[in-house]
Chains A and B, each alone.
Chain A
Amino acid sequence: MNKLLKYIFAIILYLSLTIVVLINILNSTILSKEYILNKLEESNYYNNIYTEVENNFENYIYQSGLDPIVLENIVSRDKIKEDTNIIISNIYDGNNKVIDLEVVRNNLSTNIDKSLEDRYLSEENKKAINKFIDIIINEYEDTIMNTDYSSKINTGISSINNKINMINIIMIILVIISILSLILLNIKKKRRKLSIFGIPLLALGLLLITIYLYIILNIDINNIVILNDAISIAVHYILNGIVIKFLINGSIFTILGILIIVIGNMLRYKKVKKMS
């Protein structure tokens, strides 16, 4: 009966620890603002998205009849970084800040006025130019924010965070309970069954390594394409970072599990040998 209870608590420890580890991998990666910002820097996202923005603006200039020079310096890399950080902050901090598009609009209007200052403009021309400016602003906003997806991500992340934190707390409590129970069940022979703690750790390590291997063998992370090159490259860095965490955690738990099992059994039989 004692032995059965030990294995039951070992399994409870294993299951609850698995969930705690998975939640903490998520909390330290995709659910972490700092992680995302680091990965954006690492993947040169701000420069890439700046290039994307410029390329997208170019798509509209050819048919506009305007000199391409009107698009120069309407947006800076610093502005793009600032706006991206606002969006990230909205997602992770629950803020509701709006990115400032008036700066872009004013810069573009000024450039257009300068390039056309000697030209007579009919009312129709002025309307068409204003429409062009609106299109450029929308293009900027859409490239930076991907408005269709950002609102879904905002609501998704905050609801996930709440649920995950609650589950994490419950699982940590279960981990503590199962560890205490295993200690209590071994209290008279506390050095004899240390190996029981190694079993769930080893099983967890193997599970994490298997997840890592399954992902890298079935998903071609580095060829995922989402929306544009800048975002795709950032996603590669983010996902690769998550996958590496599975490998690192898996390796640590596997090694720890084996060590505890080996040391536990050595201590157990050393004690038995001494007593005999």
Chain B
Amino acid sequence: MKKVIKATVSNIIVALFIFIFTIGGIFLCLGRDIKNNISLIDKITVVEAENKEEKVIEVDKITNYLSSYPSYGEKYATLEIDKIDLNKDVYFGDTYEILKNGVGHNAGSYFPSEGGSIVYLGHNTPDMFRRFSELEIGDIITVKTSYGTFNYKIYDMQVIDETDKDKLPIQREEEILMIYTCYPFNALGHTTNRYVVYSKLVSGEEA
């Protein structure tokens, strides 16, 4: 019996040795590729945070940049236009999913108070921007955020082509809010025109 156990143990040790040698060989030859592939897979793995801490956003007095930014898809403000009884949530991002729920904020533009171009967009449905045709130069648009309330005065309205990105310039010399929607407002089907309302910051009160 002792000999059987001894022989069995020695056979198992040989098997373990072969196994360890294989693992070592795999990591030596393919270790980097394996790590790279795992980090690629990590990039497409989404884990929801269990307890989302509410971010406190403040404006940096020197740079005027925000201390932190909302996550993509997160609601961070409300858009109010009293002239047309509009009061809608503003979300960071502009996917179709976001636009179903409210106003989208183009991720390539600045935020209220940062002193640059802000681009909002939304559908021209009756409960959203359908009444943009009633807006006039001088009307006030209000954006309320957790870090302040900002008022913009309309100075221009234009009809542009959907590909005409030059009409929505991103700059940081002056705080301009540009809101656009599909045009004509009562169009049927797919339209390639956009109606843009341009407004400048006239007052801002930080929270």
Contact = CB atoms under 8 A, between A and B. Distances in A.
A145 B93 CA distance: 26
A196 B7 CA distance: 11
Interface in A124-156: 125, 127-135
A261 B47 contact: no
Interface in A202-236: 202-203, 206-207, 210, 218-220, 223-226
B182 interface: yes
* A interface majority secondary structure: helix
Nearest to A129: B189
Contacts of A202: 11-12, 15, 19
Contacts, number: 118
Contacts of B181: 63
Given A66-B189, A129-B189, A268-B7, A203 B18 contact: yes
A269 B190 contact: no
Interface stretch (A36-44, A54-62, A164-172, A176-184): A54-62
Given A11-B18, A265-B8, A131 B41 contact: no
A18 to B, nearest CB: 8
B188 A62 contact: no
Interface string A74-102: 00000000000000000000000000000
B201 to A, nearest CB: 28
B187 A262 contact: no
Given A62-B123, A66-B189, A131-B190, A199 B44 contact: no
Contacts of B99: 59, 62
A58 B18 contact: no
- Chain A CB count within 10 A is highest, among B4, B7, B97, for B4
Contact of B14 (A127, A130, A133, A199): A199
B186 interface: yes
A268 B186 CA distance: 91
B23 interface: yes
Interface in A12-64: 14, 18, 56, 58-60, 62-64
Given A11-B18, A125-B189, A226-B44, A63 B8 contact: no
Interface in B38-88: 38, 41, 44-47
B46 A266 contact: no
Interface string B1-20: 00110011001101110110
A206 B191 contact: no
B11 to A, nearest CB: 5
Interface string B177-195: 0000110001111110000
Nearest to A7: B14
Given A66-B189, A121-B188, A225-B44, A59 B4 contact: no
A63 B15 CA distance: 67
Contact of B124 (A63, A207, A210): A63
Given A128-B189, A128-B191, A199-B14, A269 B46 contact: no
Given A11-B18, A219-B38, A223-B45, A199 B11 contact: yes
A107 B11 CA distance: 70
Interface of A: 7, 11, 14, 18, 56, 58-60, 62-66, 116, 121, 125, 127-135, 195-196, 198-200, 202-203, 206-207, 210, 218-220, 223-226, 257-258, 261-262, 265-266, 268-269
Interface of B: 3-4, 7-8, 11-12, 14-16, 18-19, 22-23, 38, 41, 44-47, 96-97, 99-100, 123-125, 181-182, 186-191
